[in-house]
Amino acid sequence: MDTKVVVITGASSGIGAALARHLGNSGNSLVLGARRVGRLEKVAEPFGDRAVSVRTDVTRRPDVEGLRDRAMEAFGRVDVWVNNAGRGIFRAPLELTDADVDDMMSVNFKSVLYGMQAIIPHFAERGEGHVINVSSFLGRVPLVTFRSAYNAAKAAVNALTANVRMELGAEHPDVHVSLVMPGVVTTDFHREALGAPEGTSVSSAAGAAQSADEVAERIVDLIAHPVAEIYTNPAGAQLARRYYEDVAAFERNTRG
Order of strands across the sheet that contains 175-181: 51-55, 29-34, 5-9, 80-83, 129-134, 175-181, 229-231
Angle subtended by helix axes 98-105 and 148-169, to nearest 10: 40
**Helix, strand or coil for residue 175?**
strand
Q: How far apart are CA 106 and CA 113, in angstroms?
A: 10
The CA distances from residue 246 to 25, 42, 133, 148, 231, in Å, are 44, 47, 27, 20, 20
> Alpha-carbon distance 158 to 135, whole Å?
7
Q: Which residue is catalytic, options 150, 231, 243, 244?
A: 150
Dist CA 230 CA 205 (whole Å): 18
37: phi > 0 → left, psi -120 to 50 → alpha, else beta; which? alpha
**Alpha helices, H only, 5-139:** 14-25, 37-44, 61-75, 98-105, 111-126
For the chain, report the end-to-end CA distance as a whole number of angstroms. 46
Q: Which of 88, 91, 82 minimizes the C-alpha distance to 108?
A: 88
Respond yes or no: is residue 150 known to be catalytic: yes
Distance from C-alpha of 184 to C-alpha of 143, rounded to nearest angstrom: 11
| Measured CA distances, 6 to 57, 153, 164 (Å) | 18, 25, 20
Residues labelled as active-site residues: 150
